[in-house]
Amino acid sequence: MGAIFGLVDFGRPARRSPKKVIQYMATIQGDHLASRLQLHADGWIGLGALPARHEASRTYDDQFFTDDRLAVFFDGDLLNRASIAAASRISLETAREMSTPELIARCFEHRGPVLFEELDGIYRIIVWDFVDKKLYIANDRFAMMPMFYYQEGERIFFGSEIKFILKGIEALPGINVQAIADFLAFGSILNENTFFSGIRFVPREACVEIAEDSIKEIPYSNRLDFTQSPGITQFEDACAHIRNAVMTGIRAYSGDHSAAVFLSGGISSRFLAAAEKRLRGHLQTFTFGADFSDDMEIAREVAIALNAEHETRVLAPERYIESFQRAVWLSDGLLDGGAGGLLSMMAGSENEIPLYLYGLNFLNAPFYNAEFAYWRRRKHDVRFKTWLAERIFGKIYRADDEYLPAGAIIRDEVNGPLFDPDAQLRHLAASTDLFEEYPGKALHYLQFAYRQPYRQALQFQALNHYAPVKAPYFTFQYLDTVLKLPESYLSRDQKLFRHLLAEFAPELLNIRWQNTMLPLNASQKEEYFWRILKFLNDHFRFYRGRPLENNPLVRQPIFDFQKALESDAGFQQAVRYLLFDLLPDELINRYTVQKLFRYAITYRLDVSEFLSRIMTITLWYQYFVLKNDPFDMMVRKRSGGLQKVF
């Protein structure tokens, strides 16, 4: 999957020729569009595509189509070509002869922008209507392939990456300090804004219509309804449904080619591995992480049980820092650099990167028995809704947290008053109508509305720069599976997964999984006991500072930032460099960060996630505001050591 960018100007022609502007925007990735550029004059509009380096086989016709009425750009995978063709009275035989952008053009002529509501897959689409003089920007329903847009006078820029927009505009937009403060507190931005004022995401379940006198975000009329009763009520039907969805997904995305399965310590990755083994008869797996990672050991056990050809890729501290910086650059800073470890999946396979399958859980944070009763008593209470909103974010950091001796990170005296995390959570709770019978469905709705789509989208976007990444499980996770299954099958004891694993590969039930570090066939009584203790620890600090002895829930993650910070001098030096040498003083309080870093080292305070967020903002400021060359910074050799900063 490549990158897309363009500009529509309803005013006078720009001083620079449109061709030069678009080419300039493209050169940022070391390529240009001289042979792949289509310009259409009305004022003027330019569309271009930059193919990803590993997808040279994709032809120009597969992405672009134009005739006297429409110009259409398409990038991604469309899963329901037959159904949209039938709805537009195009025969299946005729549709098979068309490229995807041509098919979209023909259907758009028949259906108009309502067509975008009917598409299924992971994609980006740009449609320019010569007759109505309108531009439409659309992506998949879950924004798995994000799009951005920005208005500068009478010129409107759009693109799949913010860095392309910044290359074409005349003046740098202002900094959205509230978005940065939210990112530091939650690890995510709570709406369609970005770190730059005025640059916005195309919202989920909506398209953007750009005309000469207006920009409109048009929400879909068939938005997902999480209040509907499940379409499946029998457990046997649910098993058949998920079995078919996963098998169909693997076939649809990998075709006749086998795919390497990325094994983590979770249930979903081993389930995908078992499904691939059942489908093909042979299996290739890999995992990555530090040598001490429990997930690495679990992956080895799963691979041995399935007799897989398994590859282990070690994630060393220096590799982590390199991937961290690349993740910030490739995601325009909108992805926490702490997720840069994902890029290390590619380590050791630079010469031949396989197609791989990446499993994801149905619900990232299922409710447990102890919370179930609480939900039924308090689900309409504002305080409960605030508590529920907190659960969609892994860790929320507050300036007055007694366990985070940092104070306010953002320089309020420079940037003015900002909404604090509690105010943002209260606003989120007040705007959320919780009328679900099941807490899992409500949590799923909140994740969909506020957090899940963009974070996953940006993760895959970063990886797309390195490999033709496919994620069939994620596609079927929402569109074909979860909305049709009862919540009781998906949460708490993962009943459905365990049943199917017993059918596909019963030997995998004896292997630990990362959520509890217990075997999957452990008793519910034992599992719930440790889950409830973990819940108390996470949400009420009941055991904070008093680690439980022999607690199986405690595991060594894929990469232990805190351990590397304490024991690896080179890693500590690199973190100091990213925290202090590049720190934007006018935005972030250096003294507060110094104090936080000192406490983390001296008292082994686990603030690794928060430090990585500060490092992310620092790199974003260097790359996109100060416009320093990221690749030069990644390989720059520093002499004379680091100046002592505290």
Choose among 361, 600, 340: nearest CA to 474.
Answer: 361
Reported as a pLDDT band with limits 50, 70 and 90, residue 476 is low
- Every domain of the chain with CATH number 3.60.20.10 lies at 3-219
pLDDT of residue 1: 45
First to last CA, the chain: 45
Mean pLDDT along residues 225-246: 78
Distance of CA 396 to the CA centre of its chain: 18
Q: Distance (Å, rounded) from C-alpha 184 to C-alpha 407?
A: 12
Pairing between β-strand 284-289 and β-strand 309-314 as defined by DSSP bridges: parallel
pTM: 0.87
Mean pLDDT along residues 116-121: 89
How far, in Å, are 90, 97, 246, 469, 474 from residue 83 at the CA level? 10, 15, 21, 25, 21
Q: Distance (Å, rounded) from C-alpha 20 to C-alpha 312?
A: 45
For 200, the enclosing helix (H) or strand (E) is strand 200-201
pLDDT of residue 175: 93
pLDDT of residue 80: 86
Q: Percent of the chain scored above 90 by pLDDT?
A: 20
Average pLDDT, the chain: 78
Residue 501 confidence (pLDDT) above 80: yes
pLDDT of residue 242: 81
285's tokens: 């797996």
> Longest Cα pair distance anywhere in the chain, in angstroms?
72
Question: Which of 42-46, 57-61, 455-459, 511-515: highest mean pLDDT?
Answer: 511-515
Using an 8 Å Cβ cutoff, are 306 and 281 in contact? no
Mean pLDDT along residues 31-57: 50
Helix (H, G, I), strand (E, B) or coil at 377: helix
Using an 8 Å Cβ cutoff, are 386 and 378 in contact? no
- For residues 362-387, one letter each, b for 16 or more C-beta atoms within 10 angstroms of the residue's C-beta and e for the rest, the string is bbebbbbeebeeebeeebeeeebbbb
Residue 547 confidence (pLDDT) above 70: no
329's tokens: 């650059």
Q: Mean pLDDT check: name the lowest of 50-54, 204-208, 407-411, 540-544.
A: 50-54
66's tokens: 């134009």
How does DSSP assign 244-288, residue by residue? Answer: HHHHHHHHHHHTTS--EEE--SSHHHHHHHHHHHHHHS--EEEEE
Of residues 267 and 438, more confidently modeled: 267
How far, in Å, are 125, 127, 128, 534 from residue 108 at the CA level? 11, 9, 11, 51
Residue 530 confidence (pLDDT) above 60: yes
Choose among 148, 7, 158, 138: nearest CA to 72.
Answer: 138
Q: Distance (Å, rounded) from C-alpha 43 to C-alpha 279?
A: 54
Reported as a pLDDT band with limits 50, 70 and 90, residue 307 is very high
Residue 219 confidence (pLDDT) above 90: yes
74's tokens: 């398409």
> Which tens digit of pLDDT belongs to each residue from 313-368?
888 888 888 888 888 888 888 888 777 766 666 555 544 556 677 666 554 445 55
- Every domain of the chain with CATH number 3.40.50.620 lies at 235-330+338-364+453-514
Q: Distance (Å, rounded) from C-alpha 590 to C-alpha 583?
A: 7
Residue 49 confidence (pLDDT) above 70: no
489's tokens: 């099958």
Residue 451 confidence (pLDDT) above 90: no
pLDDT of residue 468: 56
37's tokens: 């550029």
Q: Distance (Å, rounded) from C-alpha 462 to C-alpha 288?
A: 17
Q: Which of the four CATH numbers 2.40.37.10, 3.60.20.10, 3.40.50.1110, 3.20.20.150 does domain 3-219 have?
A: 3.60.20.10
Q: Distance (Å, rounded) from C-alpha 240 to C-alpha 150?
A: 46
Choose among 614, 606, 627, 608: nearest CA to 581.
Answer: 614
Residue with tokens 């039907």, as numbered in its chain: 237
pLDDT of residue 465: 65
pLDDT of residue 223: 79
Distance of CA 226 to the CA centre of its chain: 21
- CB-based contacts of 477, cutoff 8 Å, min separation 6: 360, 362
Q: Distance (Å, rounded) from C-alpha 307 to C-alpha 284?
A: 9
pLDDT of residue 64: 83
Choose among 200, 46, 198, 219: nearest CA to 135.
Answer: 46
CATH superfamily of this structure's domain 235-330+338-364+453-514: HUPs (3.40.50.620)
Q: Distance (Å, rounded) from C-alpha 390 to C-alpha 393?
A: 6
Question: Which of 6-20, 86-100, 157-171: highest mean pLDDT?
Answer: 86-100
Of residues 33 and 613, more confidently modeled: 613
pLDDT of residue 16: 44
pLDDT of residue 58: 55
Using an 8 Å Cβ cutoff, are 308 and 284 in contact? yes
pLDDT of residue 89: 92
Mean pLDDT along residues 628-635: 72
Residue 23 confidence (pLDDT) above 70: no
Q: Distance (Å, rounded) from C-alpha 183 to C-alpha 505?
A: 41
How far, in Å, are 110, 181, 237, 411 from residue 595 at the CA level? 62, 19, 56, 15
Using an 8 Å Cβ cutoff, are 485 and 496 in contact? yes
pLDDT of residue 360: 61
> Which tens digit of pLDDT belongs to each residue from 563-603?
888 888 888 889 998 999 888 888 998 888 988 888 888 87
On the 0-12 / 13-18 / 19+ scale of CB atoms within 10 A, 30 is exposed
